[in-house]
A and B are shown apart, each in its own frame.
Chain A
Amino acid sequence: MTDLLLEPTTVPMETVYCMPQALGSQPTHYCPGCTHGVAHRLLAEALDELNLRERAILVAPVGCAVFAYQYFEMDGCEAPHGRAPAMATGIKRVQPENIVITYQGDGDLASIGAGEILHAAARGEAITVIFVNNAIYGMTGGQVAPTSLTGQRTVSSPFGREGVPLQMSELLSVLPGAAYIVRRSLHNPANIRKAKKAILTALKVQQAGLGFGMVELLSSCPTNWGLTPPQALQWIETNMLPAFPVGDYKVLDAVKEL
């Protein structure tokens, strides 16, 4: 069908990129330039590549990604605020053959859900967590989050945030139950490619039953940062990367052999 949209050409064309099967065609409600859309797409591509869509169950958080289960063409459910790892634990234990993924923002995972994520990682639950860190509460209008940077101005810290951001990847990486904890960024094409590889690895970790896996993705929030989408990506590079260095925080030897 899409070929009809092309101008007539004598050289045959192949499709090198189209919407992944695991992603529905419904437009997302995210603000223009918000990298939640990129994170959704990377997860969908990874599920397609590993052919896991029919077995995958997504646990959506409370926050901007609250409707995530509507955007993916796979099973999903909605957890109470912060409780996605607890719900995912239950689903995974009842249906261990399925791939259970939670998709959480920083307000959900690092604040109200800090207890749940900590204990899920400590228990070594074989779930995959996609942690979207944009250093602010997005859906509620831009309040300070545990991950907000020191001095960051938000609507609830108009003179700059006091204290230091909570580094979840570093925190969880010291737990024995964690098998794969990495941080990636979504601010430019090279880093987006690396993020995709990390998500693929995290899903393989769950397939192999090696333990708890989490991919933290540094993401932009142009609306609540008060920046244009390109400026927001630059802000990630300038301000977030020094506070949240990208890298592998825990990779078991068994993961490297995958």
Chain B
Amino acid sequence: MAKGTIFIDAEHCKGCTLCALACPQQVITMATEQLNRKGYHPALLTDAEQRCTGCAICALVCPDVCITVYREVHAKAGAATPQGG
């Protein structure tokens, strides 16, 4: 399975939780202590087991375009197509 990762812009995140609920691998959690400058608990990537596949569903549902998605490039695959929507 292709592996990926995401970067969440925590300062732009409004803590709406939609990405955390949409993530098929459930690797996004909401911060409980950390606050951003707006006072929201931002979404965090908690992917110690590297389960993120870079499917970009989190970016698709994010209303604030906070998420950048990366996916590993495999020589044999070559089928990694953007699924940003």
Interface residues, chain A, CB within 8 Å of chain B?
A: 2, 5-7, 9, 11-20, 23, 27-28, 30-38, 41-42, 45, 188-189, 192-193, 196, 222, 228-230, 233
Within 8 A of A (CB), among B55-85: 56-57, 59-65, 67-74, 80, 82-85
> B16 at the A/B interface (Cβ < 8 Å)?
yes
A contact face: mostly helix, strand, loop, or mixed: mixed
In the bound complex, what is the Cα–Cα distance between A33 and B17 (angstroms)? 8
CB neighbours (8 Å) of B82 from chain A are 16-17
Chain B positions 7 through 36: 1 when the CB is less than 8 Å from some CB of chain A, otherwise 0:
100001011111001100000000000000
Q: Is the pair B85, A16 in contact by a Cβ cutoff of 8 Å?
A: no
In the bound complex, what is the Cα–Cα distance between A27 and B15 (angstroms)? 13
Q: A17-B59, A189-B57 are in contact. Are A230 and B69 (CB under 8 A)?
A: no
Q: Is the pair B18, A229 in contact by a Cβ cutoff of 8 Å?
A: yes
In the bound complex, what is the Cα–Cα distance between A215 and B52 (angstroms)? 33
27 A-B contact pairs sorted by A residue (CB < 8 Å): A6-B70, A11-B73, A11-B74, A13-B5, A14-B73, A14-B80, A16-B56, A17-B59, A17-B60, A17-B68, A17-B69, A18-B68, A18-B69, A23-B65, A28-B64, A32-B14, A32-B15, A33-B17, A35-B63, A38-B62, A42-B85, A45-B85, A189-B22, A192-B60, A222-B16, A230-B21, A233-B18
In the bound complex, what is the Cα–Cα distance between A6 and B52 (angstroms)? 13
CB neighbours (8 Å) of B60 from chain A are 17, 189, 192-193
Looking at A33, A42, A188, the one whose CB has the most chain B CB atoms below 10 A away is: A33
Nearest A-chain residue to B15, judged by Cβ: A32
In the bound complex, what is the Cα–Cα distance between A19 and B66 (angstroms)? 8
- A17-B84, A38-B62 known; 19 new pairs, CB 8 Å cut-off, are A11-B74, A12-B73, A14-B80, A15-B69, A16-B56, A17-B56, A20-B65, A27-B12, A28-B63, A28-B64, A32-B16, A33-B63, A35-B63, A37-B64, A41-B63, A41-B65, A188-B61, A189-B60, A228-B17
Interface residues, chain B, CB within 8 Å of chain A?
A: 3-5, 7, 12, 14-18, 21-22, 40, 54, 56-57, 59-65, 67-74, 80, 82-85
In the bound complex, what is the Cα–Cα distance between A218 and B60 (angstroms)? 16
CB neighbours (8 Å) of A189 from chain B are 22, 57, 60-61
CB neighbours (8 Å) of A13 from chain B are 4-5, 70-73
